[in-house]
């Protein structure tokens, strides 16, 4: 008999997201358009692809466990020092390490109800107690997050800006005011996965050495490298150094380091992708409006389309789209679940979505 810890034995074996591959295996066929995981269909920089191809011949070697070159380049890119940068297996991996460092059994953690579920998965996995506050409209509510954190003595607050799943964002001044209102000893996790695609004025001014905040960024969205699993954190040196106590030092492979380094150097490609995303927001939004749906304003590479009814109806729309080969997702908590969430893709994906949506809506209404 395997002797699990009491905490592990008490937890269900769950996966925060059911992947499109799992759904394809269940259906026995592939999706025509993959528009549910907020991946960048516009792809990575050609320079990054070339760097990874060159690096393949050296894959017999482990990657640098200190990720020195990439961390040095990231520090220069953000005007920080090497000691302010930690690199890991995507933001998901870094969230796991951070929660392991900070959260013990019974510790209070505050997040928004309906926000990124992988964070909740880590908190529960280390025995923390989640305290959730509702969104205010389609936005995370900094005042409610702070009030709950003060009330429960939270060790962590999670805030994504721009936001997943709604695509909304808070302006920099609002986030800066939230930082000033943090309880003593409470760390703000500022998830900036979509910051490379967001408008000016979204990212707050935060001193790199500020011990109250850690900012997470990724190469999965604007850089188009979701399958590579490279994310990074910007924080105070003491906190960054603490990651070395628990992180997988060889978790970011040699090819991944080479690809991310080349992608970071090609900011012209990020500018190109940003323009493609802005155009796709308009195109996909127009398809939604033409079918009676309301596209919500977005600062990300996806849009939420308000289906105009309740969550049950939106789920039927999602299911009917899936039957027609269109993979999308939706917010999981009312009232945001009145929407479907559609990742922005290329012309072929747009055409497939445009063809399937009216049929899916008709079937959902029957």
For residue 205, pLDDT over 90 is answered with yes
| In the chain, % of residues over pLDDT 70 | 100
Across residues 235-249, what is the average pLDDT?
97
Domain count, the chain: 2
Residue 129 reports pLDDT greater than 90:
yes
Task: Look at residue 168 and tell me if it is in a domain.
Answer: yes
Predicted confidence at residue 18, as pLDDT, reads 86
Report the distance separating Cα 141 and Cα 126, nearest Å. 26
CB atoms within 10 A of CB 325: 18
Q: Which domain holds residue 154?
A: 47-266
Burial class (CB within 10 angstroms; exposed 0-12, middle 13-18, buried 19+) of 335: middle
Phi, psi of 22 (to 5 degrees): -60, -45
Looking at the structure, tell me whether residues 33 and 57 fall in a common domain.
Answer: no
Shared domain check, 291 and 194: no
Residue 317 falls inside a structural domain? yes
Residue 16 pLDDT greater than 90, yes or no: no
> What does the pLDDT look like over 148-199, one tens digit per residue?
999 999 999 999 999 999 999 999 999 999 999 999 999 999 999 999 999 8
Q: What is the pLDDT of residues 111-120, one digit of tens each?
A: 999 999 999 9
For position 158, which CATH number holds? 3.40.640.10
Same domain, yes or no: 54 and 136: yes
The least confident of 26-30, 142-146, 169-173, 304-308 is 26-30
> Are residues 56 and 121 located together in one domain of the fold?
yes
d(Cα 265, Cα 255) in Å, to the nearest integer?
16
Residue 96 domain flag: yes
Does residue 201 register a pLDDT over 90?
A: no
pLDDT at 132: 98
Percent of the chain having pLDDT more than 90?
96
Tell me, yes or no, whether 55 and 163 share the same domain.
Answer: yes
78: confidence class by pLDDT, cuts 50, 70, 90: very high
In a domain, 124, yes or no: yes
pLDDT of residue 130: 98
pLDDT for 15 = 82
What average pLDDT does the segment 25-34 reach?
93
Query: Which residues on neighbouring strands pair with residue 241, listed in sequence order?
Result: none
Q: Give a yes or no: residue 1 inside a domain.
A: no
* Cβ–Cβ under 8 Å, residues 337 and 352: no
Q: What is the mean pLDDT of the chain?
A: 96
Instruction: Tell me whether strands 326-327 and 156-160 are parallel, antiparallel or unpaired.
Output: unpaired
- Which of 232, 266, 300 is the last residue in one of the domains? 266
pLDDT at 271: 97
Model pLDDT, residue 1: 85
97 inside domain = yes
Of 266, 290, 306, the position where a domain reaches its end is 266
Cα–chain-centroid distance for residue 15? 16
Q: From 266, 298, 331, give the residue that closes a domain.
A: 266
The full length of the chain comes to: 366
183 and 92 part of one domain: yes
- 101 and 236 together in one domain: yes
**In a shared domain, residues 292 and 337:** yes
Give start and end residues of each alpha helix (H) in the chain.
6-10, 20-27, 46-56, 68-78, 90-102, 117-125, 142-152, 172-180, 237-242, 254-265, 267-290, 311-323, 347-365
Residue with tokens 């191809």: 53
How many Cβ atoms sit within 10 Å of the Cβ of residue 245?
9
CATH code assigned at 20:
3.90.1150.10
Are 314 and 335 members of one domain? yes
Clarify whether residues 208 and 308 are in a common domain.
no
pLDDT band at 200 (very low <50, low <70, confident <90, very high): confident
Residues 293 and 250 in one domain: no
Whether 33 and 84 map to the same domain: the answer is no
Of 24-33, 126-135, 185-194, minimum mean pLDDT range: 24-33
């Amino acid at each position: 008999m395997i002797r699990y810890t009491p905490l592990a034995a008490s937890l269900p074996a769950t996966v925060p997201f059911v992947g499109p591959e799992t759904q394809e295996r269940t259906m026995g066929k592939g999706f025509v358009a993959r528009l549910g995981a907020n991946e960048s269909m516009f792809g990575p920089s050609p320079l990054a692809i070339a760097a990874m191809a060159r690096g393949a011949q050296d894959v017999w070697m482990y990657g640098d466990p200190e990720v020195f070159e990439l961390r040095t380049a990231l520090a220069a890119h953000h005007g920080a020092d090497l000691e302010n940068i930690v690199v890991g297996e995507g933001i998901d991996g870094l969230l796991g390490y951070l929660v392991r460092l900070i959260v013990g059994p019974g510790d209070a953690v505050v997040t928004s109800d309906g926000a990124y579920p992988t964070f909740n998965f880590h908190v529960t996995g280390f025995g923390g107690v989640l305290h959730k506050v509702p969104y205010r409209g389609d936005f995370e509510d900094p005042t409610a997050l702070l009030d709950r954190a003060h009330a429960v003595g939270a060790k962590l607050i999670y805030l994504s800006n721009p936001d997943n799943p709604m695509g909304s964002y808070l302006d920099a001044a609002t986030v800066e005011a939230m930082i000033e209102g943090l309880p003593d000893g409470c760390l703000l996790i500022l998830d900036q996965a979509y910051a490379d695609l967001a408008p000016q004025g979204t990212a707050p001014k935060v001193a790199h050495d500020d011990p109250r905040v850690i900012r997470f960024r990724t190469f999965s969205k604007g850089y188009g490298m979701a399958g590579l699993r490279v994310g990074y954190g910007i924080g105070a040196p003491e906190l960054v150094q603490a990651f070395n106590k628990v992180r997988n030092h060889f978790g970011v492979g040699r090819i991944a380091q080479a690809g991310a380094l080349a992608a970071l150097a090609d900011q012209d490609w990020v500018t190109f992708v940003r323009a493609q995303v802005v155009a796709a927001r308009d195109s996909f939004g127009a398809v939604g409006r033409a079918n009676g749906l309301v596209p919500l304003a977005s600062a990300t590479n996806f849009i939420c389309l308000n289906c105009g009814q309740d969550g049950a109806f939106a789920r039927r729309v999602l299911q009917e789209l899936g039957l027609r080969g269109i993979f999308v997702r939706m917010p999981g908590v009312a009232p945001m679940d009145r929407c479907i969430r559609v990742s922005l893709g290329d012309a072929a994906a747009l055409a497939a979505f445009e063809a399937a949506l009216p049929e899916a809506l008709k079937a959902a209404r029957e």
